[in-house]
Amino acid sequence: MADHDLNQRSLVDALDEPALVIEGLTISVANPAARELLGQSIEGRDIRLAVRQPELLEHILSGHPGDLDVAGIGDFGRPWRVAVRALDLGTVFVRLIDRSDNLSAEKMRVDFVANASHELRTPLSAVLGYAETLADDPGLPPETIATFGRTVRDEAGRMLRIVEDLMSLSRIEADRFVAPEELLDLGKVAQDAIANASVARGKKKCDITIDAPKTLPKVRGDRGQLVQLFDNLVSNALRYGCDKPGACIEVKLKAAGSRVEASVIDHGPGISRAHLPRVTERFYRVDEARSRESGGTGLGLAIVKHIVERHRGSLAIDSKVGVGTTVTVSLPAAGGA
């Protein structure tokens, strides 16, 4: 075997993605990933037997450098980009790049823009509709004018909340790789958030209790974001988990090994298993009408999830229909992990 063959093999083998060298019509080198995808014994075989898609075969055999997006090699439907480069006369180098992650990120972006536009268009249409009536009909009775005015104000407020939450979400995402630095007592942060929430509690009769040991290991965190996290969880418990008179909301903190755990517990209607995995998605609501009427944007738990990720923590939502919901956030203790 000539030296350059050896170099060629070690280079192709060193690639994680499937890669082949084809001389004429023969597969002269196939790295382990390519053998896994196309068959263990493809080396030395005719490329026309290993690759059966006519379009792909034509692309490879043309020998012209270029990329082709195809699906259906190996796993059903997995998208690949096939990159062909000419090496020598009659020799081509073929790489297969898995595009699944790329495409799902692209799909998420498209879905997100569509959802955000839809969420904003609904209140905007209401604002426009009422504003047009107010502008075009000077003879409206004063109480109708007042009602329409209030609707315009409420719907515009809703749009502002959506925009503020989206901005907040993108700020948290932008800081994803910036480690938070403040040394904080999570119990005190939770206490402050509860004090804020009780202002917003309005007519809700639920008591909120907090149970935190006097000395809790400190965590490294972003105070503003962690207040926002508790604020969202306590607001959800008040909004959705506080139907029965006398039901109480518990906030519990404890040290668990090298971590600090905080749980917000309510005894409300719970979330069914079908909805549970989706509640942290942006704009996902179990009961759209109820969330809307209480001013929800459907972004609260998405914000919580991103704050937890930025703090290298984990989030668990346990819920039982008719029993209640427990949301637990676990963060690494400072100096511990």
Ligand X SMILES: Nc1ncnc2c1ncn2[C@@H]1O[C@H](COP(=O)(O)OP(=O)(O)OP(=O)(O)O)[C@@H](O)[C@H]1O
263 binds, among Mg ion, ligand X, none (CB under 5 to 8 A by kind): none
Q: Is 266 in the site for ligand X (CB under 6 A)?
A: yes
Residues 50-89 that bind ligand X (CB under 6 A): none
Candidate segments 95-103, 194-202, 243-251, 294-302, binder of Mg ion by CB under 5 A:
294-302
Q: Is 300 in the site for Mg ion (CB under 5 A)?
A: yes
Q: Decide: is 241 part of the binding site for ligand X (CB under 6 A).
A: yes
What is the x/- site pattern for Mg ion, positions 6-25, by CB under 5 A?
--------------------
Smallest gap, in angstroms, from Cβ of residue 319 to ligand X?
7
Q: Does 285 bind ligand X (CB under 6 A)?
A: yes
The nearest distance, CB 289 to ligand X, in angstroms, is 10
Q: How far apart are CA 240 and CA 270, in angstroms?
A: 8
Choose which of 287, 309, 328, 336 interacts with ligand X (CB under 6 A): 287
DSSP 178-247: S---EEE-HHHHHHHHHHHHHHHTTT---EEEEE--SS---EEE-HHHHHHHHHHHHHHHHHHS--STT-
Q: How far is the CB of 225 from ligand X (least distance, A)?
A: 15
Closest approach, Cβ 328 to ligand X, in A, equals: 12
Question: 265: which 2 tokens?
Answer: 């517990």
Six token digits for residue 298: 């459907």
Q: How far is CA 219 from CA 186, 223, 253, 262, 265, in A?
A: 7, 10, 12, 12, 21
Distance CA 182, CA 49 (A): 61
Expressed in percent and rounded to 5, the helix, strand and coil fractions of the chain are: 45, 25, 30
Q: Is 236 in the site for ligand X (CB under 6 A)?
A: yes
Q: Six-digit token pair at 259?
A: 């971590």
Residue 314 in 3-state DSSP?
A: strand
Number of residues located near ligand X, criterion CB under 6 A: 23
Please choose which of Mg ion, ligand X, none residue 212 contacts, taking the beta carbon within 5 to 8 angstroms, the exact cut-off set by kind: none
Contacts with ligand X, residue ranges (CB under 6 A):
165, 232, 236-237, 240-241, 266, 268, 271, 279, 284-287, 291, 296-302, 325
Contacts with Mg ion, residue ranges (CB under 5 A):
236, 300
